[in-house]
Amino acid sequence: MAVVGNTHEAITPLGYEGGFSKLEKLRPLGRLERFSTTRSRLGVYHNVGLTGFYSYNPSSSSSTSPSLPSSYLLRSLIFHALSTLVAQHPSLSTIPIDDGVPERDAYFVRLPEIDFNTAVTFIESKNIRTGDENGSDVELDKLLEAQHNQSFEGQQIPGLPVWRLIILTNPASQSSFIASFVFHHAIADTGSAMAFHKCFAIALSNVSSEDAAKTLPRNAIIQAFDTEMLPSLEQLYELSVSNEFLERERFLTEHPDVPAHVWSGDVAQLPVATRFESLKITKDDARRFVAACRKNDTTVTATLQALVASVLFDLIPEEFTTLNSICPVALRRWLPAPIDEFSMGTWVGIIGETYQRQQGFSWKEACRCRKNIQEVVARKGKDMVSSFPRSIVDFNHYFMDQMGKKRGCSFEISNIGILKMRPEDSWRIGRLVFSQCASATSGIKVSVATGGDGSLNIGFTWPRGVFDEGLMRAFINRFSAVLLELATPAK
């Protein structure tokens, strides 16, 4: 098992050999953002992705977009719309600077320009599934898996942002494309990725044929805009904690050993290689599944938590009687202006959950999970588990101290909800796939998104070699089968 050696080794970020110090210095990183830069630098966790299936609908009367984009015009259209997003969202033109030494400042700097020819990749593909059927998409999964194994650290081209946009096109249909937005967690959370796609669809719809023709692919370098970064979570909102919560957190920090009866795969280890597979549930089956959740007085997220736990208990040895999970929760709902649904930043907390072995799926268990989520959300962030203990000063030591030890988290459920779009936009987003890299310190990740077409899409991520491939194949198959059973009306 290989692990990083010197945890305070200074690494020049993102290909700027000494030149990054000359860039415009912005605000300091918040603790949550520094948590993300540390795990990225150490290779614990690389990036996140959100993929949207775009199609052109010229029926909108307010549309100014061209009637049928040619291959050349589509590329220009995308560059033009993307330049609008860079102007709207300052995080897209910033990179985090953190050399890993706790005593030294970590901060964002602004890139003077962004070359879309290197930040955006166009790929022709005829094999991506666009039909309305349940199942996985092998070609898309391979692409996303490769992206999540590619870190933003040590990029060889100076000036690259800490995000990538991969555009998949089909030569037979220039009125549609697939856009995969892959990003560093220090500049955006998954709610921000949803905001990116909403803003991108709006920007595409507002580009005229004349404007698109002015944005030439060979001249796609744009200047960054002098826009102030949005504040960090810590600057915006105080996650208050009680003395009892602090004592409990301190005790767990001082006694980190995970009990033998908790299942969480192999020990935490570096390097980590991501495995990824997606699962699409059609609009009709998704609608029936949501209806079943409501009928049983629970939610989709809570039901998926209980479903994952029940399937794992059916597959793992009986000596393991407990599973631990985490569920990220968006905090922007409580943040003051100017933060809204279109803002981009990192503002998340975590809900923890524990499951005891029982036979098969239980709606009662799903209701218990829902109650826990409701109680945590009702406290508006008070006594909420963060991504790391509040007492941690040295994130390098925090991560490296976990290597070779049992993982505390069995699985993670992350549900970013339903994509809602403006009816007047000519570019629409159908299917939406949420994906992320594997983590060196946590367990299976189950990432959930509902697209504009009503389909429910679930991404499964796990570290290669940490969870048995046969177990994961059985888990995904069983998970899919039970979910569809729950969505089938009783006769």
pLDDT of residue 388: 65
Of 471, 458, 157, 91, the residue nearest 285 (C-alpha): 458
Of 445, 436, 439, the residue nearest 189 (C-alpha): 436
pLDDT of residue 238: 84
Cβ-in-10-Å burial (0-12, 13-18, 19+) of 438 comes to: buried
CB 147 within 8 A of CB 164: yes
Q: 3-12, 93-102, 479-488: which has the minimum mean pLDDT?
A: 3-12
Quick one: average pLDDT of 263-285? 96
Q: 34-38, 111-115, 239-243, 427-431: which has the minimum mean pLDDT?
A: 239-243
Q: How far apart are CA 163 and CA 119, in angstroms?
A: 7
pLDDT of residue 12: 40
pLDDT of residue 70: 63
Quick one: average pLDDT of 431-455? 97
pLDDT of residue 25: 93
Phi, psi of 112 (to 5 degrees): -70, -25
Of 258, 267, 266, 263, the residue nearest 469 (C-alpha): 266
Quick one: average pLDDT of 57-81? 69
Q: 48-52, 73-77, 323-327: which has the minimum mean pLDDT?
A: 73-77
Q: 111-120, 141-150, 267-276: which has the minimum mean pLDDT?
A: 111-120
Quick one: average pLDDT of 307-316? 98
pLDDT surpassing 90 at residue 190: yes
pLDDT surpassing 70 at residue 198: yes
Residue 11 pLDDT class (50, 70, 90 cuts): very low
Residue 271 pLDDT class (50, 70, 90 cuts): very high
pLDDT surpassing 70 at residue 170: yes
pLDDT of residue 239: 81
pLDDT of residue 9: 36
Task: Identify which of 2-11, 253-262, 392-401 has the greatest average pLDDT.
Answer: 392-401
CB 267 within 8 A of CB 407: yes
pLDDT of residue 72: 62
Q: How far apart are CA 471 and CA 475, in angstroms?
A: 6
Quick one: average pLDDT of 321-330? 96
pLDDT of residue 249: 75
Quick one: average pLDDT of 264-281? 96
pLDDT of residue 74: 86
pLDDT of residue 13: 43
Average pLDDT, the chain: 88
Q: What is the pLDDT of residues 348-394, one digit of tens each?
A: 999 999 999 999 999 999 999 999 999 999 988 888 866 566 778 78
Handedness of CA 28, 32, 36, 39 (dihedral sign): positive
State the DSSP code for 29.
P
pLDDT of residue 177: 94
Task: Strand 94-97: give its sheet, edge to edge.
Answer: 24-28, 107-110, 94-97
pLDDT of residue 130: 65
Helix, strand, coil shares of the chain as percentages rounded to 5? 35, 25, 40
Q: What is the pLDDT of residues 212-224, one digit of tens each?
A: 666 554 567 788 7
CB 449 within 8 A of CB 419: yes
pLDDT of residue 15: 40
Quick one: average pLDDT of 69-83? 82
pLDDT of residue 386: 64
Quick one: average pLDDT of 39-48? 96
CB 353 within 8 A of CB 327: yes
Phi, psi of 12 (to 5 degrees): -65, 120
